[in-house]
Structure 1
Amino acid sequence: MILVLGGTAEARELAVLLQDAGLEFCSSLAGRVARPRLPVGRVRVGGFGGVEGLRDHLRAAEVRAVVDATHPFASGISANAAAACSEADVPLLRLERPGWSAAPGADRWHWVSGHDEAASTSAELGRRPFLTIGRQSLGRFTGPLATHEALVRVVDPPEVALPPRWRVVLNRGPYSVEDERRVFAEHAADVLVTKDSGGSFTWPKMAVADELGVPVVVVRRPGATRGVARVDTADAASEWVRALT
């Protein structure tokens, strides 16, 4: 059994490759999104109960290898996977798409180390921020941007109370350049706040911000887990799995 810690486009792509190769695998989703995009094959939803729970699952399910293909900012899950795999003596691979640090215009962005810094920086740069940082971090912005007219785009409704001048748009994407031009124009967005998620799926908003000369605040990725092999494509992850079987 191969365990894929998923929830990303790369994880879904890997599931297709593993299925095509005839390998037994299970994709695990954290369950933080109400209606997630499901990969092919067997799927489980929900947490494991920390390092101990994941370690016990690896042993009980006779997992032969784990591919951590979670979101680049799911650092807690990645840390738990590294610890559990070490304790259970199960090979672990990190599949993570490249970030945007080398992308066109990245040298002009305002790179910050966390959401608190992103909130304070964006508060100084504009009055009508466009927030695409996920609903779990919104509470860090409500204070610094309390009097701003923020546009929040999330997949599921926020779980925190938002300032009265904020507007929420529930949308999953993907988004085209034309879609993002419309959003920027309708909201008159004067600063974009996002995370270094990487990939092409949400890149159009970055391109439009650059096109319009709108400042961009980007939260850097958390540090990589030490001692874990890494690849940045589903093809490479599939090759790694097949080499073990």
Structure 2
Amino acid sequence: MTGERGHEIVSSLAGRVSEPVRPPGTVRIGGFGGVDGLRHWLADNRIQLVVDATHPFAATMTAHAALACARLGLPVLRLQRPGWTAGPGDRWYPVPDTTAAAATAATLGARILLTVGRQEVGAFAEYPRPWYLIRAIDPPEVALPPRHELLLARGPFTVDDEAALLARHRIEVVVTKNSGGSATAAKLAAARDAGLAVVIVDRPPVPPDMAVVESVSAAHRWISEYNGAFP
């Protein structure tokens, strides 16, 4: 694909979702085989700059991109949408990871909505007392809490739909990651309106030597700085 000002763009997807939304142009799916695998792929494909636009919680991929690009001397940018912030009326309980989220949620209520992704729900299996409504795009492949219901759904969701879901299942606690963006933010508004506790997992830190922007337009400007710099 010829993209921003004549650059050839290759999009790489992790393959964690069975039917991902594909961007236009050339797309590869799957892992690289660690830092060395990524480094070899970048070199073999003569990549000249990298934009890491993975999920805010894809910390391993971000770290691998930073290391691989450093070893090759390639410019690398982290494109990361802004996180959510608590407002008036929110009852947020920030935690550092899903292990802490599972422990905290179990103390706050008996009926819990989990929206942490299918790979993270295993942490909640250690707390069998609550009942969990687990919402994910694809079925989890980890141990699940003994008392749960699985709901397969993909956003975006409306506030009215989220409010109805919370009421129908008598949810007392919402657990989520601070992913940011509008596609799944409605649950936070619905939880605030219902006066529910929200356990929210903080984002992992970005490698300190990685430039960060929060919008596609800012990423375009960063890419344009390298126009004419390549043979």
Q: Which TM-score band (shorter chain)?
A: over 0.9
Q: Give the whole-Å Cα distance in 2 for the aligned partners of 1:192 and 1:107.
A: 12
Q: Give the whole-Å Cα distance in 1 for the aligned partners of 2:207 and 2:194.
A: 37
Q: Conserved in 1, the CA contact under 8 Å of 2:91 and 2:195?
A: no
Secondary structure at the aligned position of 1:109 is classed as strand
Secondary structure at the aligned position of 1:67 is classed as strand
Q: Give the whole-Å Cα distance in 2 for the aligned partners of 1:172 and 1:107.
A: 24
Task: Normalising by structure 1, report the TM-score.
Answer: 0.89
Q: 1:134 to 1:105 in 2, by over 3 A?
A: farther
- Deviation of the 1:20 alpha carbon: 6.0
Report what 2:207 is aligned to. 225
- Deviation of the 1:116 alpha carbon: 1.1
Give 2:202's aligned amino acid.
Answer: R
Q: Give the whole-Å Cα distance in 1 for the aligned partners of 2:138 and 2:90.
A: 32
- Deviation of the 1:162 alpha carbon: 2.2
Correspondence 1:29 to 2:2: no
Give 2:132's aligned amino acid.
Answer: A
- Deviation of the 1:86 alpha carbon: 0.4
Correspondence 1:202 to 2:192: no
Q: Conserved in 1, the CA contact under 8 Å of 2:89 and 2:195?
A: no
Report what 2:129 is aligned to. 147
- Deviation of the 1:206 alpha carbon: 0.3
Give 1:135's aligned amino acid.
Answer: R
Q: Give the whole-Å Cα distance in 1 for the aligned partners of 2:69 and 2:145.
A: 43
Q: 1:106 to 1:37 in 2, by over 3 A?
A: farther
Q: 172, 181, 203: which is aligned to 2:154? A: 172
Secondary structure at the aligned position of 1:142 is classed as helix
Q: Give the whole-Å Cα distance in 1 for the aligned partners of 2:4 and 2:225.
A: 15
Report what 2:45 is aligned to. 61
Q: Conserved in 2, the CA contact under 8 Å of 1:100 and 1:106?
A: no
Task: Normalising by structure 2, report the TM-score.
Answer: 0.94
Q: Give the whole-Å Cα distance in 2 for the aligned partners of 1:26 and 1:238.
A: 15
Q: 1:97 to 1:121 in 2, by over 3 A?
A: same
Report what 1:87 is aligned to. 71
Secondary structure at the aligned position of 1:33 is classed as coil
Q: Conserved in 1, the CA contact under 8 Å of 2:124 and 2:144?
A: no
Report what 1:72 is aligned to. 56
Identity %: 48
Report what 2:93 is aligned to. 110
Report what 2:138 is aligned to. 156
Superposed CA offset, 1:139-160 (max 9, x none): 101111x132110000000112
Report what 2:119 is aligned to. 136
Secondary structure at the aligned position of 2:35 is classed as helix
RMSD of aligned Cα (Å): 1.5
Report what 2:109 is aligned to. 126
Q: Give the whole-Å Cα distance in 2 for the aligned partners of 1:106 and 1:64.
A: 47
Superposed CA offset, 1:48-85 (max 9, x none): 11110111111111111000000010000000000000
Q: Give the whole-Å Cα distance in 1 for the aligned partners of 2:117 and 2:95.
A: 16
Gap runs ≥5 in structure 1? 1-14
Q: Conserved in 1, the CA contact under 8 Å of 2:91 and 2:196?
A: no
Which of the pair is proportionally richer in helix?
A: 1
- Deviation of the 1:120 alpha carbon: 0.8
